A and B are shown apart, each in its own frame.
Chain A
Amino acid sequence: MDVLYFAWVRERIGHPKEKVETTAATVRDLVEELRAREDRYDAAFADLSALRVAVDQELADFDADLSGVREVAFFPPMTGG
């Protein structure tokens, strides 16, 4: 699946997008896999209350099911308007 990062999450991880091969069942499982990769991921995902997630471009929560999902995005709370 494609994993996207925006705003300071993108800056901390160092790239905007990557392909991830995963068998993670939920967003939370995916986060744990990413955190185990490298310190920069671990730091970016240290406080999930500071993050929001979208699954296939719809806001979701960290327990969302990932079966059949093509795109997951992580970002801080939005500041539009």
Chain B
Amino acid sequence: MVVRVQAEGFDAGGELNRFTAACDGAGAVVSFTGIVRNRAGAPLREMMIEHYPGMTEKAIAGIEAEAVDRWSLGRSLVIHRYGALAPGETIMMVATAARHRADAFQAAEFLMDYLKSRAPFWKKEIGRDGAEWVAARDEDEAALGRW
């Protein structure tokens, strides 16, 4: 289990290659990369991501521990950025490795669902005409119910 919370950008492809190379005995690696989505109509200038230092790392480690407990996982990786990001930049990535793909897919989805609603990050969209906090979506909270 590796958790990194950082302001700096990262190369998701390079991270995935290094993760895969270190996965002894795995038959499947699943990864997800989240990027800053631009808005239709009112272009986004930047996305500001705030977090709760200390709690963020603990919350993600707790979510990862839960995933390891539920699925047969070899390794997992979570990288999440904070600070000012431009549209198209990579915000975060998750990777999971398991002997079989079902475990890797499900654990990756579980990690994503929980990171959305249970890791203390808040996004603010900054456009030309002002800024607003991104509201949590009911669907994201509801997604936790399936686990």
For window 1-22 of chain A, which residues contact chain B by CB distance below 8 Å?
4, 6-8, 10
Contact B120 A75 (CB under 8 A): yes
Contact A7 B92 (CB under 8 A): no
Contact B115 A7 (CB under 8 A): no
Contact B52 A80 (CB under 8 A): no
Contact of A7 among B54, B91, B122, B141 (CB under 8 A): B122
Contact A75 B122 (CB under 8 A): yes
Chain B, interface size category, equals 20 to 34
Contact B121 A79 (CB under 8 A): yes
How many A-B contacts if CB must be within 8 Å? 70
Give the CA-CA distance A7 to B131 in the complex, in Å: 12
Q: Using a Cβ–Cβ cut-off of 8 Å, how many residues does chain A contribute to the interface with B? A: 17
Contact A75 B52 (CB under 8 A): yes
Nearest 7 CB-CB pairings of A with B: A77-B136, A80-B121, A7-B122, A57-B55, A81-B116, A80-B119, A81-B115
Task: Report which A residues bind B (CB closer than 8 A).
Answer: 4, 6-8, 10, 54, 57-59, 73, 75-81
Give the CA-CA distance A73 to B52 in the complex, in Å: 9
In the complex, what residues of A have CB within 8 A of residue B134's CB? 79
Task: Report which B residues bind A (CB closer than 8 A).
Answer: 34, 50, 52, 54-55, 58-59, 80, 91-92, 112, 115-124, 133-136, 141
- Beyond A57-B58, A78-B136, A81-B92, whether A4 also contacts B118 by CB under 8 A is no
Contact A8 B117 (CB under 8 A): no
Contact B120 A54 (CB under 8 A): yes
In the complex, what residues of B have CB within 8 A of residue A8's CB? 133
Contact B55 A78 (CB under 8 A): no
Contact A76 B122 (CB under 8 A): yes
List 19 additional A-B contacts (Cβ < 8 Å) besides A7-B124, A79-B133, A79-B134: A4-B52, A6-B120, A54-B52, A54-B55, A57-B52, A57-B55, A57-B59, A58-B58, A73-B52, A73-B120, A76-B122, A76-B136, A77-B117, A78-B116, A78-B121, A79-B123, A80-B80, A80-B115, A81-B115
